[in-house]
């Protein structure tokens, strides 16, 4: 506890009643920088979440789908329904089998894809 106590020093030309406080710890300014850094990081995270509209990740009733493409070209679909999050990887392999047609997908000129249910 002796490191947390402030020490008194005598100043020249003043009486014993007027004493100034001196702090011998050179790391006191670093603690303030650490606090400022934490506030900056939290603010940056909140800004990123609001910029990309990711608040729905924390909502238990929301449903969302995110499609992600890796630099290698591999795609991943991340779906969230309620509290359940599921990730699926999309492969380039074709499959065969019986099924029913659900809709039509169109690729627009800018590269985006639109799904139109029938």
* φ/ψ (deg, to 5) at 40: -65, -45
The pair of three-digit structure tokens given for residue 104, joined into one six-digit string: 């039509």
Distance CA 39, CA 24 (A): 27
Tokens 């499609």 belong to residue: 67
Q: How many CA atoms lie within 13 A of 92 on its CB side?
A: 4
Range of the domain at 20: 7-51
DSSP characters for 24-45? --TTHHHHHHHHHHHHHHHHHH
Mean pLDDT for all residues in the chain: 79
Q: Is residue 109 part of a domain?
A: no
Mean pLDDT on 6-26: 55
Band of the pLDDT at 2, cuts 50, 70, 90?
Answer: low
Examine residue 37 and state whether it is found in any structural domain, yes or no: yes
pLDDT tens, residue by residue, 48-106:
989 988 888 788 888 888 889 889 888 899 998 888 889 998 877 777 878 788 788 88
Answer whether 0.75 is exceeded by the pTM. no
Residue 38 domain-assigned (yes or no): yes
């Amino acid at each position: 506890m002796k490191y947390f106590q402030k020490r008194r020093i005598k100043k020249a030309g003043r009486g014993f009643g007027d004493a100034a406080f001196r702090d011998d710890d050179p790391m006191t300014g670093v603690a303030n920088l650490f606090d400022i850094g934490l506030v900056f990081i939290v603010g940056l995270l909140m800004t990123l979440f609001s910029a990309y509209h990711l608040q729905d990740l924390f909502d238990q009733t929301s449903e969302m789908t995110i499609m992600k493409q890796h630099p290698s070209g591999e795609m991943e679909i991340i779906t969230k329904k309620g509290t359940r999050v599921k990730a699926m990887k999309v492969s380039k392999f074709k499959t065969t089998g019986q099924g029913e047609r659900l809709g039509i997908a169109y690729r627009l000129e800018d590269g985006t894809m639109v799904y139109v249910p029938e």
